Structure 1
Amino acid sequence: MTEDQIIQRYNHPWTFYALATLGSWTAWGGAVWLSHLDGIGPAGLTTVAVLLLLGLLFPFLTAWRLTRGDPVLRNDLGRRLVRPDWRQLRLATLGAGIMLGSILLAQALSLLLGYSTEQFRFAAHASFSAGILPGWFPLVLAPIIEELSWHSYGTDCLRRSMTLFWTSIVFAFYWTVWHAPLGMVAHYYQAQIAESGWIHTLNFALSLFPFVLIMNWLYYRANRSILVAIVFHLSAGLFNELFQTHPDTKIIQTGLLFALTVAIVIADPRFFFGKTVHDMPPVSPFRQFG
Structure 2
Amino acid sequence: MSYQIDHIVLTILFAFAGLLGPMVAAIMMIFFDANNLFDDYKRRFANLNNISWFAMLLMISIIFTTLFVAVFISLLFGFPAEQLTISRLLLSMLPFALIAATFEELGWRSYGIDCLLAHRCLFVASCYFALLWGIWHVPLFFINQTYQHGLYELGPIYIINFFISIFPATIFANWLYYRCKRNIVAIILFHFMLVISAELLQIEPETKFIITLILLIISMLLIYLEQKIFFSRLTLSQHSLL
TM over 0.5: yes
Distance 2:134 2:8 in 1: 25
Shift of 1:281: 8.0
- The answer to whether structure 1 residue 46 and structure 2 residue 9 are counterparts is yes
Q: Does 1:229 align with 2:196?
A: no
Q: Which runs of 5+ in 2 are unaligned?
A: none
- Return the alpha-carbon distance in structure 2 between the equivalents of residues 269 and 279 of structure 1: 14
Task: Name the counterpart of 2:160.
Answer: 202
Is residue 270–residue 279 contact of structure 1 (8 Å, CA) maintained in 2? no
The residue that corresponds to 2:225 in the other structure is 267
- The one-letter amino acid of 2:17's match is L
Which of 58, 62, 73 is the equivalent residue of 2:37?
73
1:177 aligns with 2:140: no
The match for 1:3 is none
Question: Could you report, residue by residue, the CA deviation over 1:80-139 in whole angstroms, capped at 9, with x for unpaired residues?
Answer: 11231275233222222221111111111111111111111111115xxxxxxx644432
1:64 shift after superposition: 0.9
In structure 2, the residue matched to 1:138 is: 96
In 2, distance between residues paired with 1:279 and 1:139?
32
RMSD of the alignment, in Å?
2.0
State the structure with bigger RCO (CA 8 A, min sep 6), 1 or 2: 2
TM-score by length of 1: 0.78
Match of 2:2 among 5, 16, 35: 35
Alignment of structure 1 residues 25-174 onto 2, 5 Å: 34-37=1-4, 40-41=5-6, 44-70=7-33, 72-85=36-49, 87-125=51-89, 135-174=93-132
Tell me, in whole angstroms, the C-alpha distance in 2 between the residues paired with 1:225 and 1:61.
19
Amino acid at match of 1:54: A
Matched, 1:213 2:171: yes
Give 4+ residue runs of structure 1 displaced > 6 Å after superposition.
none
Secondary structure of the residue aligned to 1:179 is helix
Q: Percent identity?
A: 31
Q: Is the 8 A contact 2:26 2:107 kept in 1?
A: yes
Q: Distance in 2 between matches of 1:218 and 1:57?
A: 23
1:162-185 alpha-carbon deviations (Å, 9 max, x no partner): 110010000101111111111000
Q: Please, what TM-score do these two structures have when normalized by structure 2? A: 0.92
Aligned residues: 240
Deviation digits for residues 161-215 of structure 1 (CA, Å, limit 9, x no counterpart): 0110010000101111111111000111111111111111100000001110111
Please give the alpha-carbon distance, in whole angstroms, between the structure 2 residues aligned to 1:81 and 1:136: 22
Write the letter of the residue equivalent to 1:50. L
8 Å contact 1:271–1:281 — kept in the other structure?
no
Conservation of the 8 A alpha-carbon contact between 1:107 and 1:249: yes
Taking the aligned partners of 2:50 and 2:23, their CA distance within structure 1 comes to 27
Does the aligned pair in 1 maintain the 2:26–2:110 contact within 8 Å? yes
Per-residue deviation, 1:58: 1.6
**Could you tell me whether the CA contact under 8 Å between 2:50 and 2:181 is conserved in 1?**
no
Q: Give 1:141 deviation, angstroms.
A: 1.2
